[in-house]
Chains A and B, each alone.
Chain A
Amino acid sequence: MASTAIRTGGTAGRLSLPPLVEARAARSNLGDRIFRTVLRLAAGAVLLLVLALAGEMARTAWPAMQKFGARFLVTSTWDPVAEQFGALPFVYGTLLSSLLAMLIAVPLGIGAAVFLAELAPQWIRPPIAFLVELVAAVPSVVYGLWGIFVLAPLMRTWIQPFLGSTLGFLPLFQGPPYGVGMLTAGIILAIMVVPFITAVSREVLLAVPNSQREAALALGATRWETTRLAVLRYGRSGLIGAGLLGLGRALGETMAVTMVIGNRPEVAISLFAPGYTMASVIANEFTEATSDLYLSALIEVGLLLFLVTVAVNGLARLLVWSVGGAVKVVRE
């Protein structure tokens, strides 16, 4: 019995396929080849898009790059009438508002993620994680609306006068409380990116192997000690990545910031003063750009923003991916 099986197997191995089967195999190979080409084209579209994005923007920004060169980055005259363009106030506004947002959002986001992934009782985790996702789904323009009509008046009547009277000896907290301005923009940005940082950090923490936790717990560590020694340390690079992803968001966030930052192209020390960001100058002036050079200068601002966010996001992804298995889709 056994020997027959072996012999049959042996003959089958030597047998060539009947012609009919071969023809069908060839045809399906053709189908497979076509299908694979289609798939490759679809994937190539992503690649092509990123290249086209960069190329198209570089092309349209070229006149401004040629005219102003490096001066574009270090001068702060933005005068469409005289066609003098220096983007320093916008770069400054973008960096400062994002920095403020990060100062608030990173500790809060990572804290919330630790709660959701490590310390909270099991039953409370899914509903809170769900609420965090909902906060992340609120459209930017709704935050902006809320910022104009709720947050800005609140800042003007309570928070800024309070900060002015207690920390007013610092130049950061001097000047009249307008309500709208850099600080308000930073706070609204923090509110917007914090759910995002929470979600990514939570993914990172969930990707930390359980053996890490078990080892620490077995040595008698408390939950918090386990988290601090075994989990946070293991996921450190991923958490930095989560923060950077949040930073990438904050740098490019447009609508809400445009609505509360005050839109004045100035480099001011005080956080109460109105400012302007790269994204909001594009949003406000793009349709009003009357001359080609003006448009080109705005597109150059966009190109700068693109390059900065690509660099920040690229680094962030590599860091998040480095925590094994955390290659999860990050949902908005």
Chain B
Amino acid sequence: MTARTRRVVNRVMGGLTALAAGLVILPLLLIFGFLLFQGASAVNVDFFTHLPKPVGEDGGGMANAIIGSLILVGLAACLGLPIGILGGVYLAESRDRRMPWLVRFLADVLNGVPSIVIGIFAYALVVLPMRRFSALAGAVALAVIMLPIVVRTSEELVRLVPSSLREAALALGIPEWKVILRVVLPTARAGIITGVMVAVARVAGETAPLLFTAFGNRFWHQGLDQPIAALPLQIFAYAIAPYDDWHRQAWAGALVLIGMVFIVSLAARVATRGRFSGVR
């Protein structure tokens, strides 16, 4: 090959890969554009403060679903975060040989298990014994989805804490558990918060595992042992219904949902800007 063809090939491949990158982010622009175009008109104060109206009546909102989603995600975080963070600390600090490898591997595998399968698990674990769909079952499903993400992120960030810090504290005679709780974890805090937010953003949009655990509800929250509304569930129900009003509401709901997810993702990014460069 002559030098010129090599240069041409270089250019062409640069162009093709740039095109690929453009195509990857194109759907984001298309989807976001349509959400704004279709949904913005239906997002108003009522949307955040009112219950859904019956078919045929104008107006109404998804306030119950927004609150339901917040409750579900909050409860899931209470269940999943402590275990996840401690598990991550274990992976980073443990001196065992096989166990950490196995746990890390299983966490990654669990991360890849389809969320609907996790829903079945929560159904068998919570819904069957309780004999009813409940907010609790939904939160358990979401917590299981959160767990592996939180475990792996906390591990990464605990690993990044310089060992000189640990050694300095240990040299002062402070027991290891205190070193981890008072020195290592506070140092890694910003990064761990990011990981937590990423996990929250992920589960906030989950629909499939809630279909037969949280089930959905047309009314306000009625207790953790009762079915509860969730924004993604409501969007799904409205999207597949045959009414134009409902489709508008579904677009509005999707716009609100994606807004919430993006705000959390952006906040996570801003929270760690400049620190831990190289780790996202």
Contact = CB atoms under 8 A, between A and B. Distances in A.
B116 A223 contact: no
A145 interface: yes
B164 interface: no
B206 to A, nearest CB: 7
A219 interface: no
Given A39-B93, A131-B25, A149-B247, A111 B31 contact: no
Nearest to B215: A287
B267 interface: no
A44 B153 CA distance: 17
Given A46-B103, A138-B258, A39 B90 contact: yes
B24 interface: yes
A325 B17 CA distance: 25
A282 B123 CA distance: 12
Interface string A248-265: 110111110001000000
Contacts of B99: 40, 43
A198 to B, nearest CB: 6
Nearest to A140: B207
Nearest to A192: B27
B117 A302 contact: yes
Contact of B208 (A107, A131, A227, A283): A283
A116 B258 contact: no
Interface string B211-235: 1100100000000000000001001
Contacts of A317: 105, 108-109
Contacts of A119: 13-14, 17-18
Q: Which of B20, B34, B181, B250 counts the most A-chain CB atoms under 10 A from its CB? A: B20
Interface string A281-306: 01100110000000000010010011
B151 interface: yes
Interface residues of A, number: 95
A138 B259 CA distance: 10
A56 B125 contact: yes
Main SS at interface, chain A: helix
B20 to A, nearest CB: 3
Contact of B116 (A32, A35, A254): A254
Given A42-B90, A150-B30, A305 B117 contact: yes
Nearest to A328: B156
A114 B149 CA distance: 26
B18 to A, nearest CB: 5
A332 B207 contact: no
Interface string B264-280: 01000100000000001
A144 B257 CA distance: 14
A225 interface: yes
Contact of B90 (A43, A108, A145, A249): A43
Interface string A36-76: 10111011111101101100110110000000000000000
A224 interface: yes
Interface in B94-126: 94, 99-100, 102-118, 120-121, 123-125
A302 B21 contact: no
B39 to A, nearest CB: 9
Given A145-B254, A195-B24, A42 B86 contact: yes
A306 B35 contact: no
- By Cβ-Cβ distance, the 8 closest A-B pairs, closest first, are A252-B114, A139-B205, A111-B20, A28-B175, A35-B177, A313-B112, A42-B86, A115-B17
26 contacts: A28-B178, A49-B144, A53-B118, A53-B121, A108-B20, A112-B20, A119-B18, A128-B25, A133-B280, A138-B31, A138-B258, A139-B207, A144-B236, A145-B251, A149-B239, A194-B24, A198-B21, A223-B10, A253-B114, A259-B236, A302-B120, A309-B112, A309-B114, A317-B109, A329-B156, A330-B108
Interface of A: 28-29, 31-32, 34-36, 38-40, 42-47, 49-50, 52-53, 56-57, 59-60, 107-112, 114-116, 119-120, 128, 130-135, 137-146, 148-150, 191, 194-195, 198, 222-225, 227, 245, 248-249, 251-255, 259, 279, 282-283, 286-287, 299, 302, 305-306, 309-310, 312-314, 316-317, 327-332
